[in-house]
Amino acid sequence: GESVGLHLPTLSVQEGDNSIINCAYSNSASDYFIWYKQESGKGPQFIIDIRSNMDKRQGQRVTVLLNKTVKHLSLQIAATQPGDSAVYFCAETGGSNYKLTFGKGTLLTVNP
Amino acid sequence: EAGVVQSPRYKIIEKKQPVAFWCNPISGHNTLYWYLQNLGQGPELLIRYENEEAVDDSQLPKDRFSAERLKGVDSTLKIQPAELGDSAVYLCASSLDPGPGTQYFGPGTRLTVL
């Protein structure tokens, strides 16, 4: 859904379903992208990354897709589990300063 | 292996008071970051250290914020005086190398300014 003010985009899925979380970025110079998972009361946890010379990268139950033409990044979680419930952030960086710019975040809720 | 340690976990102060946050990075990690995270937003970098040198402090509001990492290990972030708008979570992260994908975050300090 759309976010307004402090409201996070939210995604609610049933346990066992696949989840797709989207992220748009604006900096065409960004060349490295990361997805983080943040559970309540904890710091962000690295999930998966992708460089701009790739379109797709797979990890365990997660896949990141990068579409540089439309500046869009997505995170796919297979067989979503209750433990996947968290806020998911995409982050980008470009150049050599290693400064990460985080997106707004999406709240994923997995219903048992 | 212990992760990034931060203290305190929570802090409530009145405006105009000083406050300090402490971070102990993962052993051997040379690069340390301080981030600010507002409710519902992603973290924003305040300062990055490589060993004891602050290599990027462009986002640190230097009129009231200061940080130090004197021996290249632990770090302290200070706010003096605190303002109502400083209420947020302050995250510390560390990495072995200054590459963004290898940052490990601590649990953060939640600051409430009344």
Taking CB atoms and an 8 Å cutoff, what residues of chain A touch B23?
Answer: none
CA distance B93 to B25: 7
pLDDT-based confidence at residue A2 (cuts at 50, 70, 90): very low
> Average pLDDT of B54-72?
93
pLDDT-based confidence at residue A97 (cuts at 50, 70, 90): low
3-state secondary structure A27-73: CCCCCEEEEEEECCCCCCEEEEEEECCCCEEECCCEEEEEECCCCEE
Taking CB atoms and an 8 Å cutoff, what residues of chain A touch B101?
Answer: 32, 34, 46, 49
**Both tokens assigned to A54:** 């790739």
CA distance B34 to B32: 7
Q: Hey, is the C-beta of B5 within 8 angstroms of any chain A C-beta? A: no
CA angle A110, B4, B10 (to 5 degrees): 75
Cβ distance A91 to B108 less than 8 Å, yes or no, reads no
pLDDT of residue A28: 86
Percentage of residues of chain A with pLDDT beyond 70: 91
pLDDT of residue A104: 86
CA distance B101 to A90: 12
**B103, pLDDT greater than 90:** no
pLDDT-based confidence at residue B65 (cuts at 50, 70, 90): very high
Cβ distance B40 to A105 less than 8 Å, yes or no, reads yes
Express each pLDDT in A25-67 by its tens digit.
Answer: 988 888 899 999 999 999 999 999 999 999 999 999 999 999 9
CA distance B78 to B69: 12
pLDDT of residue A3: 33
Give the mean pLDDT of chain B: 93
CA distance A83 to A4: 27
Cβ distance A100 to B48 less than 8 Å, yes or no, reads no
Taking CB atoms and an 8 Å cutoff, what residues of chain B touch A57?
Answer: none
- Backbone dihedral region for residue A41 (phi beyond 0: left; psi -120 to 50: alpha; all else: beta): left
